[in-house]
Amino acid sequence: MSTPSAPSGSLHAVRVTVNGRPEALRVPARRTLLQVLREDLHLTGTKEGCGVGTCGACTVLVDGRAMLSCLVLAVQADGRTVETIEGLSRDGALDPLQQAFIAHDALQCGFCTPGQVMALRALLRATPHPSLDEIRRAVEGNVCRCGAYPRIQQAALEVARAAEGYR
């Protein structure tokens, strides 16, 4: 199980805004956005669950859309805006979605949680009051092996039903 060899040595300049902060990086062509976030920018809240786009643990927002950062090459993120789980809390206060996850016990081991939260954030931003069905489809690609699913949908529903909507 090995990735095909790529010519090493050649680095590519990438400018990307992560959680509001501009970053200038030089990366090998095959480096993924996930690797850049975790290893270069030390934002380890974004998790690698499979590395091949089948589990959703690495979900981040790229220009506001939920993307699997393990399937995005860092060079593809050039010029874009990326938001990770670390970008959600403001002055130490958690985002309403994160608060709802805690209130409803929508996490157990917590390893998939950042991906679940980011996928739901993308949904709630585009659709402030989604239906249960829309919620379930938004996180269908996010595996929670602990089985917090009933709680995750409860947490998302609470935020979806908030009169003021989701910021």
Partner 1 sequence: MPRIIKQRVEFEGRVEERNVVIEGDDLPVWPAGERFQVIGTPVTRVDGAQRAGGTARYTADLYPAGVLHGAILRSPHPHARIRALRTSRAEQAPGVRLVLSHRNTDAIPWYNGMSRIFDTELRYVGDEVALVVADDAAAARDALDLIEVEYEPLPHVIDPLEAIRPGAPQVHPQGNVLGGAPERYARGDVEQGFLAADAIVELDVTTPDVLHHSMETHGSVAWWEGDTLVIWDSTQHIFGVRRQVAAALRIPLDRVRVLSPFMGGGFGGKNNAGKHTVLAALASRRLGRPVRIVFTRAEESQAAGKRPRSVQRIRVGARSDGTLVAIDYWGVSSIGAYRAIGTPLAGPATELYACPNVRAETLNVFTHTGPAAAFRAPGYVEGTCALECAIEALADQLEIDPLELRLRNYAEADQVLGRPYSSKFLREAYAMGARAIGWERRALTPRSPVRDGPPRRGLGMATQLWGGSGSAPAYAEVRLNPDGTAEVRIGTQDIGTGTKTALTQIAAEVLTLPVGKVTLSLGDTDFPYSPLSAGSQTLASCGPAVRMAADEARRHLIDAAASLLEVAPEDVRLEGGRLFVAGVPERGLAIAELTGQIGNFTIAGRGFRGPNPDGVTIRTWGAQFAEVEVDPETGEVSVLRIVACHDVGRVINPLQYQSQIHGGVIQGLGMALREEHVTDPETGAVLDLGFDAYAVPRITGIPEIVALAVDKPDPIANNLGVKGVGEPPIIPTPAAIANAVANALGVRVTSFPITPAKVRAELGRRA
SS3 assignment, position 146: coil
Instruction: Report, in angstroms and rounded to the nearest whole number, the Rg of the chain calculated over CA atoms.
Output: 16
Name which of residues 74 to 113 contact partner 1 (CB under 8 A). Answer: 84-86, 88-89, 94, 98-99, 101-103, 105, 107-113
Name which of residues 25 to 54 contact partner 1 (CB under 8 A). Answer: 30-31, 38-39, 42-52, 54
CB of 153 to partner 1, least distance (A): 7
CA distance 66 to 114: 12
Residue 163 backbone class (left: φ over 0; alpha: ψ -120 to 50; beta: rest): alpha
- How many residues make contact with partner 1 (CB under 8 A)? 61
Phi, psi at 126, each rounded to 5° = -80, -35
> Which residue, 16 or 144, has its beta carbon nearer to partner 1?
144
Give the contacts of 8 (CB within 8 A, at least 6 positions apart): 28
> Which residue, 75 or 79, has its beta carbon nearer to partner 1?
75
Residue 2 binding partner 1, by CB under 8 A? yes
SS3 assignment, position 67: strand
The CA–CA distances, whole Å, from 55 to 19, 33, 52, 110, 143 equal 23, 16, 8, 14, 5
CB of 151 to partner 1, least distance (A): 6
> Which residue, 49 or 79, has its beta carbon nearer to partner 1?
49
Binding site for partner 1 (CB under 8 A): 1-3, 5, 8, 30-31, 38-39, 42-52, 54-55, 57, 84-86, 88-89, 94, 98-99, 101-103, 105, 107-114, 117, 136-137, 139-153
